Amino acid sequence: MPSTHDNPAPPRADPRAALLRDPNFRWLTSGSALTMLGDQFTLIALPWLVLQMTGDTLVLGTVLALMSVPRALFILIGGALVDRYSPKEVLMLTKYVNLVLLGLLSGLVLTGALTLWMVYALSLAIGLATAFSIPAGTSLMPHVVPRAQLQAANGISLGLRQLTMFLGPLLAGLLIVLFGDGSAGNASATGIGIAFALDALSFGVSAWTLAKVRTLVAAAPAATAAAPQAVLASVAQGLAHFWRDRELRTCFLYWSAIALFIMGPIHIAVPVLASSTPTLGAAAFGTMLGAHGAGTLAGMVASGMFPRLRVGSLGLTILVFDAIIGLLFIPMGMINAVWQGAALMLAIGLLGGFMQVRVFTWIQQRVPPMLIGRAMGLFMFIFMGLAPISAAVTGWLMKSITLTQLFAASGGTLVVLVALAFVLTPLRQVTDAPAAAR
């Protein structure tokens, strides 16, 4: 009888190597990475532009709210349209729209013709476009790679996203410092205008790369009836499905609370902290956001190296990590040096990034393929629709409380939410282990 050593089992193929040989995956990820890098320039430039124009945190909160309101109102409809038609077609259209909007914003800044009402109008339009681009972009991957390679594909894609979150803010902060941010000591806002122009260019180039992507042959999304109310009916159908799924319902409600109580202060308080502290500034703001991106990337790498590392279960690990993040967030308002803010943001990003790939893939694998657009629309609505609304409330709160009090209250609230979720909800029992009954 031949021994097993005579016929060794073939080594398991690395799914990442197979993905990198796939031209569709390469076109998709390269274009997405370029767009995400460009978005980081706008993420830095827009709040800095508003603060330099007005110096008013309430105005900054209003601008972010104008971006969030149409996103919150239409992102679920965007997810339904993605499921009904094609994520590629929806995403392509939004790229052209963003190219025009950001190009216009750049031109107005560079010519000095920008007024506050124009900032409001363009912010509203950009928010409306993202209501459709977000569910389209997050739903496209299952249409490009086989389901068995989805976790590896998400790992690479989200890893690239975090790399752009590390490089983008650093480059944007340096660009604004070198070419001007419109401050009193440097009246030129050329740096901010160039930042918007580079973001617009990224949308143009990524539209070209997206055109080269060929999606997998699958069941037609239009399997749902094309009745006049099909889109709204499909939104309701998706929400009903997610509500009936006990684990999905628990996670979505918990993440909604997190977005409302913790994400707003990050969007508002961190740039205000950088602009109001004499020892910080635009470059420090970029450095802190870059540190958060670097930490998240490192967390994703660690998650890939130790895919089964958990504190009991997926849900319990989420709670433990969020409690630590809350404790790290409390001292943010007391920093007076760049390295202090960067260290805290690095640690927060490391903990958050560790679980992102697994959670992202868990949702995509848990829901039926015909509901992926709506599932990702709801998931992104929570973090990109509710969070800016929280930012608007934060801008109002900062009229009556200090930065130190705001950071302490936000971090403490997160710890309390974790404790309540542990005691009152089944979140700690949520698992990402394969379930035969599902």
- Across residues 11-20, what is the average pLDDT? 62
Give the residue, 73 or 205, on which the prediction is more confident.
205
Tell me how far the alpha carbon of residue 403 is from its chain's centroid. Answer: 24
136 within a domain of the structure (yes/no): yes
- Cα-based distances in Å from 55 to 3, 173, 211: 76, 18, 42
Residue 178 has pLDDT above 80, yes or no: no
Is the pLDDT at 297 greater than 50, yes or no? yes
pLDDT score, position 327: 92
Q: Which residues contact 7 (CB under 8 A, 6 or more apart)?
A: none
CA distance 388 to 259: 9
Whole-number pLDDT of residue 373: 79
Q: What is the pLDDT of residues 274-284, one digit of tens each?
A: 777 766 766 77
Q: Residue 225: what pLDDT?
A: 43
Share of the chain above pLDDT 90, in %: 10
For residue 164, is it within any domain?
yes
Q: Does residue 410 sit within a domain?
A: yes
Q: Is residue 242 part of a domain?
A: yes
**Could you tell me which residues are beta bridge partners of residue 313?**
311
What domain range includes position 198? 16-215+228-429
Residue 228 is predicted with a pLDDT of 40
Q: Does residue 97 carry a pLDDT above 90? A: yes
Asked whether residue 107 is domain-assigned, the answer is: yes
Q: What was the pLDDT predicted at 93?
A: 92
Contact 43, 289 (CB under 8 A): yes
Of 149, 152, 146, nearest to 217 by C-alpha is 146
d(CA 219, CA 42): 37
- In this structure, what are the phi and psi dihedrals at residue 114, rounded to the nearest 5 degrees? -75, 130
pLDDT band of residue 226 (cuts 50, 70, 90) is very low
**Can you give the pLDDT at residue 104?**
93
Q: Phi then psi for 234, rounded to 5 degrees? A: -70, -35
> Mean pLDDT score of the chain, rounded to an integer?
79
| pLDDT grade for 99, boundaries at 50, 70 and 90 | very high
263-279 mean pLDDT: 73
Of the ranges 121-125, 213-217, 362-366, which is most confident? 121-125
Find the mean pLDDT for residues 194-205: 91
CATH of the domain at 80: 1.20.1250.20
| Position with higher pLDDT, 395 vs 74 | 74
In the chain, the number of structural domains is 1
Q: Which of 65-74, 189-198, 221-230, 399-408 has the lowest mean pLDDT?
A: 221-230
User: Residue 434 domain-assigned?
Assistant: no
Q: Give the residue-averaged pLDDT of 182-200.
A: 73
**3-state helix/strand/coil string of the chain:** CCCCCCCCCCCCCCHHHHHHCCHHHHHHHHHHHHHHHHHHHHHHHHHHHHHHHHCCHHHHHHHHHHHHHHHHHHHHHHHHHHHHCCHHHHHHHHHHHHHHHHHHHHHHHHHCCCCHHHHHHHHHHHHHHHHHHHHHHHHCHHHCCCHHHHHHHHHHHHHHHHHHHHHHHHHHHHHHHHHCCCECCECCCHHHHHHHHHHHHHHHHHHHHHHCCCCCCCCCHHHCCCCCCHHHHHHHHHHHHHHHCHHHHHHHHHHHHHHHHHHHHHHHHHHHHHHHCCCCCHHHHHHHHHHHHHHHHHHHHHHHHCCCCCECEHHHHHHHHHHHHHHHHHHHHHCCCHHHHHHHHHHHHHHHHHHHHHHHHHHHHHCCHHHHHHHHHHHHHHHHHHHHHHHHHHHHHCCCCCHHHHHHHHHHHHHHHHHHHHHHCCHHHCCCCCCCCC
pLDDT score at 435: 47
* Inside any domain, residue 436: no
Contact of 413 with 257, CB cutoff 8 Å: no
Judge whether 10 lies within some domain: no
Determine contact, residues 267/387, Cβ cutoff 8 Å: yes
Give per-residue pLDDT as tens, 33-57. 888 888 888 888 888 888 888 877 7
Q: Which residues contact 4 (CB under 8 A, 6 or more apart)?
A: none
The whole-number pLDDT of residue 146 equals: 79
Average pLDDT over residues 164-168: 76
Residue 83 has what pLDDT? 81
